[in-house]
Amino acid sequence: MSDIVEKHGVTNDPAEIQVATSSVEVPSYRPKQTIGQLLRNDLGFLPILLTLILVLVFFEFVTGGLFLSPQNVSNLIQQVASLGIFSVGIVLVLLLGEIDLSAAAVGMLSSVVMAVLAERHGMPALPAILLSLLAGLICGLVNGFFVSILNIPSFIVTLATFIIASGASLFFLGTQTTQLITNPTILSISGTAVSYFTNVLGVGLPLIAVLLYVFSTFYTYQRRRKAGLSTMPPARLIIQSVVAIVVVMGVIALLQNYDGVPYSTGILFGVILLVWLMLTRTSYGRHIYAVGGNLEAARRAGINITAIRLSVFALCSLIAALAQIVETSRENAISSNLPSMLQLDIIAAAVIGGVSLFGGKGSVWAVVLGMLIVEALDNGLSLLGQTSDVKQMVEGAVLILAVTADALIRRSQARSKSGR
């Protein structure tokens, strides 16, 4: 700049100012980013996807091709359905920066209500299912009341609800701690051989869903670009879309080579699609992100914090009730013995999938990758003959790595922004 002043002098002449500024050399290239700078960027789902690919390749190799056989993939997909639905509800709570430890127990209680009404009292399946969902919704409203209105920490409230719901399940089942399901309507959800879509629907519905996702992603990209907002790199957008299509259609091809696409899988992706549209296409969804991202800023923006938190806890428990209904149909029974790892798996699937425990960050589609990683580890270790102790240690290690990576990346991004 001193050279410019010496050459042109101090002047107010616009012509001379233009000449002076035009002589400033601007690099015609963007400097290469270091590895640290790349890690501070938003990498999206890529690290999680790479992790899943490594897990799949490893187990396919060590099991001699058994892991990705059509029969095993079909079993894996059926096992993962209820876990995925559970995790969708947990994602909503995590986006608020809260936690729900009661989802598994609330889902169990809701299914106990359905089983007792349908099997012991002869109630038709549809009213029994609706009352089961209502029971889950009530539990969620209770959680939301204490958390949002009385400002009790969600950890304490949902832990208490977990204990109460577990006890209530024992109470309703009485001395018969396991209730078999014989109602054909309930069994048809995912528990019988006829619970598969036809070939046309089995391929068409997932294809429509993934194309809708791709279209929405490109549409959002174009809108943000026209508005001058930050967007993901075009290469990442293309890779993300291609990977989504390839993965979905690859899984469908494997399933069609066995029995087809089960109803439970359709329910899972239907729930994910509805919640994703709610989060990305409604003001309510944007408010959830806002509350989780910065509570005080959301309050000053006029968002009803109390209503958002209350409704999210209610939705989480409602979705948990649906998840356990699907699992009860698959198992053909409901037991008062809650699986010890279920609640951990529910939270792990969301966190490993990239949803932040600190709130305001994550996508409901993260559930797909997270649940596949969790169930792939469990399924693969089972094929290798490993016992539950090894499974729990491996899953715990993966979970702590996911949480640690999230925390480190957030700190790195914060330092990068503060240094600008």
- pLDDT tens string 102-137: 999 999 999 999 999 999 998 999 999 999 999 999
Closest CA to 141 of 100, 94, 112, 173: 100
C-alpha to C-alpha distances, 135 to 34, 185, 318, nearest whole angstrom: 53, 20, 8
**CA pair distance 50, 69, nearest whole angstrom:** 21
pLDDT tens across 307-330, in order? 999 999 999 999 999 999 999 988
Band (38; pLDDT cuts 50, 70, 90) = very low
- Facing residues of 178 across strands? 335
| Residue 30 scores a pLDDT above 60 | no
- DSSP secondary structure letters along 33-91: PPHHHHHHS--TTHHHHHHHHHHHHHHHHHTTT-TTSHHHHHHHHHHHHHHHHHHHHHH
**Of the candidates 282, 413, 298, 392, which has an alpha carbon nearest to the alpha carbon of residue 348?**
392
pLDDT at 313: 96
Alpha-carbon distances of 259 from 180, 189, 200, 254, 298, rounded to whole Å: 25, 15, 13, 9, 48
Q: What does the pLDDT read at residue 167?
A: 92
Amino acid 20 reads A
pLDDT at 319: 96
Per-residue pLDDT averaged across 379-408, rounded?
80
Regarding beta strands 333-335 and 178-180, do their DSSP bridges make them parallel or antiparallel, or are they unpaired?
antiparallel
Per domain, the residue ranges of the chain are: 45-195+262-410
Q: Are 132 and 113 in contact (CB under 8 A)?
A: yes
Residue 86 pLDDT more than 50?
A: yes
Whole-number average pLDDT of the chain? 81
Closest residue by Cα to residue 244 from 270, 203, 210: 210
pLDDT on residue 278:
92
What pLDDT score does 29 carry? 41
Q: Is the pLDDT of residue 386 over 70?
A: yes
Q: Are 160 and 105 in contact (CB under 8 A)?
A: no
Least confident of 31-40, 213-222, 377-386: 31-40
Going by pLDDT thresholds of 50, 70 and 90, the confidence category of residue 410 is: low
pLDDT band at 415 (very low <50, low <70, confident <90, very high): low
Which of the pair, 142 or 270, is modelled with greater confidence? Answer: 142
**Is the pLDDT assigned to residue 194 strictly greater than 70?**
no
Can you give the pLDDT at residue 47?
73
pLDDT at 413: 61
Q: For 199-246, what is each residue's pLDDT tens digit?
A: 677 777 788 888 888 888 888 888 888 888 877 778 778 887 887 788
Looking at the domain that runs over 45-195+262-410, which CATH code has it been given? Answer: 1.10.3470
What percent of the chain is predicted at pLDDT more than 90? 31
Residue 6 pLDDT more than 60? no
Grade residue 37 by pLDDT with cuts at 50, 70 and 90: very low
- Tens digits of residue pLDDT in 132-169: 999 999 999 999 999 999 999 999 999 999 999 999 99
Instruction: Between 39 and 96, name the one with better pLDDT.
Output: 96
Position 98 scores a pLDDT of 93
pLDDT tens digits, one per residue of 235-259: 778 887 887 788 788 888 877 777 7
